[in-house]
Amino acid sequence: MEIVLTVQPNGNGEGGNILVQRKESGTMKDMGTVKFDDHGQKKWLLMVLMEMHPYVSLVEN
């Protein structure tokens, strides 16, 4: 299963969301979102979500 993470800034400040989706039969299915408040939280969350997972990719908006 391939997982795609998309970073979505909230438009003001450093916070935003990480959208988690899985690729299934060529289409993207939403799995959920993870909220972050600043760059430090974003960096930590991406490390945890991506560490040692070869089938996870990151898309920056």
For 23-55, give the DSSP string.
Answer: EETTEEEEEEEEEESSHHHHHHHHHHHHTT-TT
pLDDT at 11: 85
Residue 53: other Cβ atoms inside 10 A:
10
Q: What is the pLDDT of residues 43-59, one digit of tens each?
A: 999 998 888 777 777 77
Residue 18, token pair as written in the block? 């990480």
Domain boundary assignment for the chain: 2-60
Q: What is the pLDDT of residues 3-45, one digit of tens each?
A: 999 999 998 889 999 999 999 898 999 999 999 999 999 999 9
pTM, 2 dp: 0.80
